[in-house]
Amino acid sequence: MNEKINVLDNGYVRLTNVMGSDLSVVNSARVSYDKESTELDEKDIRLIKFLAREGHTSPFRHATLQFEVYAPLMVARQHWKYIVGSDHTMDAWNESSRRYVTEEPTFYIPKADEWRSAPENSKQGSGCNLDENEVGWFTDRLEKYIREGEQLYQNAIIEGICAEQARLFLPAYGMYVRYYWTASLQSVVHFLNQRLAHDSQVEIQEYAKAVYALAKPKFPVSMDELVKTEV
């Protein structure tokens, strides 16, 4: 399986594995009555709708999806909150580490017309895009800042400083990291309902849209019933 959607300037989400289907949800629920379906029919679809509507969520934890994600650290750390703070079991996370990896780093750099204003009535989030003629120079400044950090990082490696300390010179928040995320269908939907929301950070919204686009064809009925945020 190699279904992949590119995100931002250098990122992507790749669906690497799936266990189960809408039928898995149905059969997990029906095992209480020692019954099993072999093909999804209208009665099964009504059962999924009932489970979702009434909040009977355990059957949705018997299906899992595995993604490979390449995202800026600021996105990965927001995503991580849904792992450590979730009571939806069946989650796993493994991430590349610059203690061991010394490949050339990649950074997320907003284009001149992508800088956003601070929100008027909130301490977090962002507002509308700013005039690139007024703030576009920040893109050039960020690129220069990253080049300086990369040069210091390379110099430290050349001088024999260990990778786990040399990485301190790299500007962290925009640096891309690669990770595998394996989660139950319920956990995936929890993430989507939170991060497809219009008031979530724009960059992580783009990753949530990619996750949704990859997961929806695998669990069409369950996703329709569980994802409450408009895509």
How many domains is the chain built from? Answer: 2
Enclosing H/E stretch for 15: strand 11-19
Instruction: Output phi, psi for 97, to 5 deg.
Output: -130, 135
Q: Tell me how far apart the alpha carbons of residues 191 and 7 are, in angstroms, rounded to a whole number.
A: 17
63: three-class secondary structure by DSSP:
coil
Whether residue 231 lies inside any domain: the answer is no
pLDDT of amino acid 193: 92
User: Is 122 found in the same domain as 35?
Assistant: no
Enclosing H/E stretch for 118: none
User: Is 187 found in the same domain as 165?
Assistant: no
Whether residue 12 lies inside any domain: the answer is yes
User: Is 84 found in the same domain as 72?
Assistant: yes
195 in catalytic set = yes
Whether residue 156 lies inside any domain: the answer is yes
pLDDT of amino acid 67: 96
User: Is 65 found in the same domain as 31?
Assistant: yes
Whether residue 48 lies inside any domain: the answer is yes
pLDDT of amino acid 199: 84
User: Is 91 found in the same domain as 7?
Assistant: yes
Edge-first strand listing for the sheet containing 64-72:
3-7, 11-19, 64-72, 176-184, 91-95
Per-residue pLDDT reduced to its tens digit, 35-81: 777 889 999 999 999 999 998 889 999 999 999 999 999 999 989 87
For the chain, residues with pLDDT lower than 50 are none
pLDDT of amino acid 39: 87
* CATH number, position 46: 3.30.1360.170
Q: What's the domain range around 43?
A: 3-99+177-226
User: Is 182 found in the same domain as 167?
Assistant: no
What tokens were used for 111? 């284009």
User: Is 205 found in the same domain as 117?
Assistant: no
User: Is 64 found in the same domain as 17?
Assistant: yes
Catalytic residue among 14, 98, 167, 195: 195
pLDDT of amino acid 64: 95
pLDDT of amino acid 150: 93
User: 146 near 139, Cβ under 8 Å?
Assistant: no
User: Is 22 found in the same domain as 47?
Assistant: yes
pLDDT of amino acid 141: 94
Whether residue 104 lies inside any domain: the answer is no
